[in-house]
Amino acid sequence: MFPQPQATASVTQQDKQVDPPRKVVKTDAEWKKILTPDQYVVLRQKGTERAGTSPLNHNKEKGIYYCAGCHNPLFSSDAKFESGTGWPSFFRPIAKNAVAEESDNSYGMVRTEVECSVCHGHLGHVFEDGPKPTGLRYCMNGVALKFEPK
């Protein structure tokens, strides 16, 4: 189904906890001042970018993917894989408490929404059709992420 990523030492990070999540709370007006219009629609209004439009989809550099809204570290490049879906995909977050999951029953579907654990910005969804070692596919909106190379 999906190519299997190379097992690395970072695979053991799934149980790692980052510092207790801080909380970022802003008004809509404050979010609109710091986010681009596309980021605002995705992060604050649970929008979805068009498949294949994010330059991060094909990024192969080593580094960390952060929340575009609050700079919370979310995913390591070591967990990124090519899913063929048109969105950046990862098989695990950088730490257990980096993201939060919520039930999403919109559009007549039952899915699991993934949010930033700090600002609760919408990032995408997680599905159970990913590669080993987790079997998960965190399908993220690239516009909701900021990449910083190592």
Side-chain-facing half-sphere of 103: CA atoms under 13 Å: 3
- Assess whether the previous peptide bond of 73 is cis (omega < 30° from 0): no
> Distances from the Cα of 124 to the Cαs of 9, 29, 46, 104, 131, in angstroms?
26, 23, 8, 11, 18
Annotated ligand binding at 69? The verdict is: no
Annotated ligand binding at 119? The verdict is: yes
Annotated ligand binding at 55? The verdict is: no
Annotated ligand binding at 66? The verdict is: no
Tokens 């039930």 belong to: 103
- Strand 137-140 and strand 111-116: the pairing is unpaired
The residues annotated as belonging to the active site are 139
Q: Which helix (H) or strand (E) element contains residue 5?
A: none
Contact 111, 101 (CB under 8 A): no
Q: Per the annotation, where are the binding residues for Zn(2+)?
A: 67, 70, 116, 119
Q: Per the annotation, where are the binding residues?
A: 67, 70, 116, 119
